[in-house]
Amino acid sequence: MITGRLASRAPANRLQLLLIVALALAVRLAAAWVVGDARVPWNYEYEEIARSLLTAGRYAWDFYGLAPAQPTAFIPPLYPLLLAFAGWLRAAWALQAIQILLSLGTVVAVYGLSLSLRAREEEALTAGLLTAIYPPLASYAVTISTVTLEAFFLVIGSWLLVLAGRRLSLASALGGGAALAAAGLTRSTWLALLPLALVWLAWYPVAASLRRRLGLGLLVLLGAALVCLPWGAYNSRTFGVWSVSSTNGGLNFWIGNNPQATGEYVFPTEIDPDLVRQAAALPEFERDRFFYARGLQSVTAAPWRAARLYGLKLVYYLFFRPNIGSNYSQATLPLGLAQMLFIASWLVSLPLAVLGLTRLGPSRREHSWLALALVSQALLTAAFFAGTRFRTPLDVFALIWAAIGLVALWHRVRPIRQIA
């Protein structure tokens, strides 16, 4: 269905899309050349789990070296599995190559999503172009980060969901649920989009019968269940708990809501080493509840401070945290240039996106899904701590609106230039 939709475009437009993909490839290869083998000076949790998969055949982790390595559900499984697969290939460039291909797929999917949102051809191509050259997406494609995988599944899932609502397509609903669940198995907060997808499908297709809307919602759930079933079964078999989420939520909630919290990530043992060592000895799901309780205790002890901190985290999420890029401060990278590109590209996109939102016309109903995803994730993420990488997968939605605004601006300026 998706390929058929793209194939139906005029040859000239397909050529333009191909050129945009080629440009995206060139930008990502240039980013790979700049980054090289530079990285943060420690292994991420998903790297340690991937190494355990490769060396011991176990999905295991040692909780920052504070406990014996044992089976874990701390991190959702898809990115550690991708890292393990790249390591199994025994090629230094394997991970970058895989992520670049996924990032190119996101560029094409943004074009398709734009068309499903009733964008004109030039707007959809412009959205693909902005996605191709957007610095954060290019940078994350060549570094160890879940962002590329999240963006890919999020855009595919949103594309299929919008098609399901517009065409009342049962197959699209099934695929949309599966893709959104895959995003959730990359970073757990995306799972919150699944119940919102049911609400949106119950509201959006105004011409559909209640039975048809319920059918679409059930197929979204079925697609999601098929993807999440292996992870839920693993947790049930390993921990005796049926869960499709991860157990890092409690720790992240405490990091973002403790008496010393700043709204940004701080390594756990730098906050309270004794408390973290105490928690390391707990069973994993009990540890998760332990940190949620400690974070909630901090919130209830000082509610006004927690409210101010929540607002601060929202600002950091929607714009940038003060220490953007600090994790890479010890890496051999042109950090100042990267920070400037990240900030400038988002600040340029925002006013164009606002202009685009005023130009949606009758397609506002389709675009409401993008707005719902953006707002809900901002509100949810601010309950934990803020980071640019949490917002970046959603930046593609703002780029779609920015493309509409940019095309509108171009058509407004062009007659003036012709007269001049």
Residue range 91-148, pLDDT digits in tens: 889 999 999 999 999 999 999 999 999 999 999 999 999 999 999 999 999 999 999 9
Q: How much is the pLDDT for 341?
A: 87
The one-letter amino acid at 100:
I
Closest CA to 68 of 242, 238, 272, 280: 280
Q: Report the chain's mean pLDDT, rounded to a whole number.
A: 91
What count of other Cβ atoms lies within 10 Å of the Cβ of residue 296? 15
Give me the residues paired with residue 70 across strands. 61
Q: Is the dihedral of CA 277, 281, 287, 293 positive or negative?
A: negative
Distance CA 143, CA 299 (A): 35
Asked whether residue 14 carries a pLDDT value surpassing 90, the answer given is no
pLDDT digits (tens, 9 = 90+) for 282-317: 999 999 999 999 999 999 999 999 999 999 999 999
Q: Is the dihedral of CA 379, 380, 381, 383 positive or negative?
A: positive
Q: What is the pTM of this model?
A: 0.93
Asked whether residue 1 carries a pLDDT value surpassing 50, the answer given is no
CA distances from 125 to 115, 379, 391 (A): 9, 31, 23
Q: How confident is the model at residue 416 (pLDDT cuts 50, 70, 90)?
A: low
Average pLDDT of the segment spanning 240-254: 95
- Which residue has tokens 């509108």? 408
Query: 386's torsion region: left (phi>0), alpha (psi -120 to 50) or beta?
Result: beta
pLDDT digits (tens, 9 = 90+) for 340-398: 888 999 999 999 999 999 999 889 999 999 999 999 999 999 999 998 899 999 999 99
SS3 call for 71 = strand
Q: How much is the pLDDT for 117?
A: 95
Q: How much is the pLDDT for 250?
A: 96
Higher pLDDT, 80 or 361: 80
Q: How much is the pLDDT for 3?
A: 46
Q: How much is the pLDDT for 236?
A: 96
pLDDT digits (tens, 9 = 90+) for 168-197: 999 999 999 999 999 999 999 999 999 999
Helix, strand, coil percentages (3-state) for the chain, rounded to 5, are: 75, 0, 25
Distance CA 228, CA 45 (A): 21
* Length of the chain measured in residues: 420
Task: Indicate the DSSP class of residue 316.
Answer: H
What does the block give as tokens for 304? 């006004």
Lowest mean pLDDT among 103-117, 206-220, 237-251, 322-336: 322-336
Average pLDDT of the segment spanning 16-35: 94
Q: How much is the pLDDT for 9?
A: 53
Lowest mean pLDDT among 9-18, 198-207, 226-235, 409-418: 409-418
What does the block give as tokens for 7? 């194939």
Phi/psi at 50 (5° precision) = -60, -40
Q: How much is the pLDDT for 7?
A: 47
| Contact predicate 238/284, CB 8 Å | no
Angle of CA points 191, 192, 195, to nearest 5°? 105
